[in-house]
Amino acid sequence: MSRQNNSWSRERLFNRFEPLKFEFLIGDHESERTRVFWTPTIAGNFYDKFMLGAAIHNYGAPTSKFNYIVAPFYSFGRQMVSGMSDFNYTFLPKKNLKTSRFGISLKSFKNDSTYRKNDSYFVSVAPYWIAKIGNRKDKSHVSQYIKVQTIYKKDKVGPTHLERLGAYVEYNLDFTKVDHNVNFKLRNEYYTDAHNSDEMARILVESTYRFRYMKKKMNRWIELRGFVGLTYLNKFALTNAYQYSMSLSGADGQQDLFVDEYYFGRNETQGIWSQQRDENMGGFKSTSWYGTTAYTMATANIYFQFPFKPNIFGVFADFGTFYNGTSFNGAMNTGLALRLGKVFGVYFPLWMSKQMDDAYTSKNYAERIRFTLKMNIQNKPLNFMKLLN
């Protein structure tokens, strides 16, 4: 029996629901009330400009099987409502699976600065299923989960309407000990346009090993990452090749096909907002478009945390090769980094291979500084105390 839904009243229209009680930010659930938590919110991006709204959710203690968050904003750039919401229900199977969660995520934001107001926007609807493998009573250093997600995404850019459909299956394994962490991901994606013959399918394999080389007063880690990507179906028009391709430098907003992350300028190709990239695909800490391929790619990435306080500075090195349709090409990239956990990072290149360097049309160093910001609500919260150690 759910603690939030364990009373019955004949006088109520919906007998299984207790009276609503609104509470600011977050709190404890009570058996006599159905708690709804709320908080005012502000947000913004290059297209929506300033956004003002409120988030309503039921995430509290103890956790419930059914959870939701609804965060609408008034967009001053779109002059319409933008925002996101997520609804999910968690089952607790008796065996084989620790948890089984079904949910749906909805997002809508403005996506262009050329067309005014609500003449440009996107809407995405993404049903998903996430299952943690194993038995809840078993204690192990290994945790595994499977995620299956589909998506419907509509983009309106002036008179143009685009509708796309996609799905992916992802397997994730974590091995965690005090001084050693290993993560392995295997993901298979399919994406198509609802109104033409564009199709793309690829398999992505990623593995990360972290070793704690300082273990007393300060925790410092060395991180080694490897990635291999193979596009085995690349039936799409040349004009759409970039968004369906993999990048050495990780996905930008155009390549974020499943709307996994939030971008300040999702479709920008120049300026500071075009320098936001996700830390996926090739994993290069770069803003260069060199190394974009619709075929195959293999990379290795190294990150070393400096042994001094605060715990936010490090050095990186990236190595990779990709097939451009006629030949394999290599690339290297090194530099300094500032990282706040796994949420925010800024990367300053010091040296890169000639091919990457020549791909830039400008010698302006500021255009080569890359940043990452992961704002998805599924990300773990940032622990600021750890950054000081």
Residue 18 confidence (pLDDT)? 65
Lowest mean pLDDT among 8-17, 77-86, 101-110: 8-17
Which fold would CATH assign to domain 69-387? Porin (2.40.160)
Across the chain, mean pLDDT equals: 90
Residue type, 147: K
State the burial class of residue 347 (Cβ atoms within 10 Å of its Cβ: 0-12, 13-18, 19+): buried
Tell me the residue type at 139. K
C-alpha distance from residue 162 to each of 152, 158, 263 (Å): 11, 11, 19
Least Cα distance to 197 among 167, 236, 160 occurs for 236
pLDDT band at 158 (very low <50, low <70, confident <90, very high): very high
**210, 181 in Cβ contact below 8 A?**
yes
Q: Quick one: CA dihedral 187, 371, 296, 211, positive or negative? A: negative
Q: Give the phi and the psi of residue 322 in degrees, each rounded to 5.
A: -150, 155
pLDDT at 14: 44
Tokens 């400009």 sit on residue: 49
Q: What is the residue whose two structure tokens read 């293999």?
A: 298
HSE-up of 380 (CA within 13 Å, CB side)? 6
Of the chain, the percentage scoring pLDDT greater than 90 comes to 77
Q: What are 15's strand-pairing partners? A: none
What is the structure's pLDDT at 155?
96
Closest CA to 185 of 167, 201, 168: 168
Length of the chain: 389
- Domain positions in the chain are 69-387
Peptide bond into 310 cis (omega under 30): yes
Which of 30-34, 99-103, 321-325 comes out lowest in average pLDDT?
30-34
Residue 386 has pLDDT above 60, yes or no: no
- Does position 6 have pLDDT exceeding 70, yes or no? no
Give the pLDDT confidence of 237-294 residue by residue, as tens digits.
988 999 999 999 999 999 999 999 999 999 999 999 999 999 999 999 999 999 999 9
Residues 59-88: what's their mean pLDDT? 92
Provide mean pLDDT across the span 55-69.
87
Considering only residues 130 and 374, tell me which one the structure prediction assigns the higher pLDDT.
130
Report residue 209: phi and psi, to 5°. Answer: -120, 130
Contact 314, 339 (CB under 8 A): yes
Q: Write down the pLDDT at residue 385.
A: 46
CA 210, 214, 216 angle in degrees (round to 5)? 130
Contact at 8 Å (CB) between 34 and 19?
yes
In the predicted model, is pLDDT for residue 30 greater than 70?
no
Locate 59 and state its tokens: 């995430």
Question: How many CB atoms lie under 10 A from the CB of residue 82?
Answer: 25
- The whole-number pLDDT of residue 242 equals 95
Place of tokens 């809508």: 108
Cβ 90 vs Cβ 100: under 8 Å: yes
**What local confidence, expressed as pLDDT, does residue 74 receive?**
98
Q: Is 210 helix (H, G, I), strand (E, B) or coil?
A: strand
Alpha-carbon distance of 186 to 197, in angstroms, equals: 27
User: pLDDT exceeding 70 applies to what percent of the chain?
Assistant: 90
